[in-house]
Structure 1
Amino acid sequence: MSSGSPIQIPGRIINGLKTVGVNNPVFLLDEVDKLGKSLQGDPAAALLEVLDPEQNHNFTDHYLNVAFDLSQVLFIATANTTATIPAALLDRMEVIQVPGYTQEEKIEIAHRHLIPKQLDQHGLTPQQLQIPPATTLGIITRYTREAGVRSLDRKLGAICRAVAVKVAEGQHRGAKLERTDALEAEGGRERSEDVEPQPIGDSGAAGLALPPEMPILIDLHALKDILGPPMYEMEVSERLSQPGVAIGLAWTPLGGELMFVEASRMDGEGQLTLTGQLGDVMKESAHLAISWLRSNAKKYHLTNASGSFDLLDNTDIHLHFPAGAVTKDGPSAGVTIVTCLASLFSGRLVRSDVAMTGEITLRGLVLPVGGIKDKVLAAHRAGLKRVILPQRNEKDLEEIPGNVRRDLSFVTASCLDEVLNAAFDGGFSVKARPGLLNSKL
Structure 2
Amino acid sequence: MSPHSTPSPSASRDRVPHALLPAELAGPDRAGRRTARDWTVDVLLFGWAVLWWVILFVANQDYDYLPDWLRVVDPILGGALCVALWWRRRFPLAVSLAAVPAVALSNTVFGAGMVILLNLAMRVQWRYAVPVLVLYLVASAPYVAIYLFPHGDGWASVFFVLAYNLVFFAWGAAIRARRQLIAKLREDAERERVEHARRLADTRRAERAAIAREMHDVLAHRISLLSVHAGALAYRTRQSAAGAGAALSDTEVAESAQVIRDNAHQALEELREVLHVLRAEERRAAGADPDAAPAIAPPQPTLAEITTLVEEARAAGQQVAVDTELPCPPDADPASGGDPLRALAGAGDLRPQAQRTAYRVVQEGLTNARKHAPGARVHVRIAGDPGGTLTVTVDNPLPVGLAPTEIPGAGAGLTGLRERVELDGGELHHGTTDGTFTLQARLPWPA
Fold shared, TM-score > 0.5 on shorter chain: no
Query: Which structure shows the bigger proportion of residues in strand conformation?
Result: 1
- The TM-score, its normalising length taken from structure 2, stands at 0.22
Larger-Rg structure: 2
Query: Which structure shows the bigger proportion of residues in helix conformation?
Result: 2
Give the number of the structure with larger relative contact order, counting CA–CA contacts within 8 Å between residues 6 or more apart: 1
